[in-house]
Amino acid sequence: MKPILYIKQGCPWCNDALAYFRSKGLDLEIKDVRGDEQGMAELQAISRQNKTPTLLYGDFMVADFDINEFEEALVKNPAAAAKLGL
């Protein structure tokens, strides 16, 4: 199962997240929810919001983050960090 990264094309935080995950070699399923009603509904169902980037991996989710917030979430959840290889 791949982590899912919900993004919106043109979102600067999403571009930062994509670059960060590429630099870490993390293989992601990327879902661009801009103009995708089903993808947006899925994002809202799992995170109760519509902001991006949002990463979902099993029961680990970080919604509407910048890189510092994502790394803080990893520190708070070392099991998820280990599973992600980060």
Residue 1 pLDDT > 90, yes or no?
no
- What is the average pLDDT across 44-55? 97
Please answer whether residues 80 and 72 qualify as being in contact, where contact means their C-beta atoms are separated by less than 8 angstroms. Answer: no
Left if phi > 0, otherwise alpha if psi is -120 to 50, otherwise beta: which for 30? beta
- What is the average pLDDT across 47-72? 97
Supply 5's token pair. 């990264």
pTM here? 0.95
